[in-house]
Structure formats: structure tokens, C-alpha cells
Amino acid sequence: QTVVTQEPSLTVSPGGTVTLTCASSTGAVTSGFYPNWFQQKPGQAPRALIYNTNNKHSWIPARFSGSLLGGKAALTLSGVQPEDEAEYYCLLYYGGAWVFGGGTKLTVL
């Protein structure tokens, strides 16, 4: 049973920078896992943010960026805005199957 692990919750101040991570129980996350990141606000469907590690969808603000960091996939928000308060999910590819992380609840306070 493959498990993808994210921080359950993080808090950041408006204007600050925060990094969310995504780890795989199988070992280091590499570009071959094609990490995707999604944002979900209460009562809404998820929205795609990042694909293939560090590619931003066209509708995503520049303050969002993706990377690999210390064997994990990472999502960094720079200059956080109040509207960035949401649940964030990563998704990793395991050759014919995809597994979501449990989500990180980001609070902007």
C-alpha cells in the first residue's frame, strides 16, 4: 500500500512564504513521479495548480511554484494572500496508478 504524506496543517502570515511538501513511502520523489498539485477551497471542486513537478497552469498566479526538495515534491507560495487559505493536495504517479497525499490545510493568519 503506497502512502503519500503531506503536512496536515501549516500556518503562514499574509505576505509570507511557505513550502508544502509531498513524500512517498516508496522512497525519494523524483521527476518520474510527475508531481501535480491542487488547491481546494471549502464547497468547491479542486483546481489544478502545478503539473510535472514545476509547470504552472496558465490560470495560476506567479506566487505559486513547484520543485523537488530533499527527496520530496514541494509547493512554494511566495507573498501569500488571504485567498490562498485552502486545502492543498499533491498527486504522484506510480506507473498505471496515481496516489494523492492526504492534503495540507493552509491557514493564512
Contact 69, 76 (CB under 8 A): no
Q: Which of 104, 90, 78 is nearest to 18 (CA)?
A: 78
Torsion region of 103: left, alpha or beta (phi above 0 gives left; psi -120 to 50 gives alpha): left
> Shortest gap between Cβ of 84 and other proteins (angstroms)?
18
Q: Of 12 and 90, which CB lies nearer to other proteins in the complex structure?
A: 90
95/48 Cα distance (integer angstroms): 21
Cell 513537478 belongs to residue: 53
Q: Of 15 and 74, which CB lies nearer to other proteins in the complex structure?
A: 74
Q: Of 91 and 108, which CB lies nearer to other proteins in the complex structure?
A: 91
> Shortest gap between Cβ of 102 and other proteins (angstroms)?
5
List residues near other proteins by CB under 8 A: 34, 36, 38, 40, 45-48, 51-52, 55, 57, 89, 91, 93, 96-103
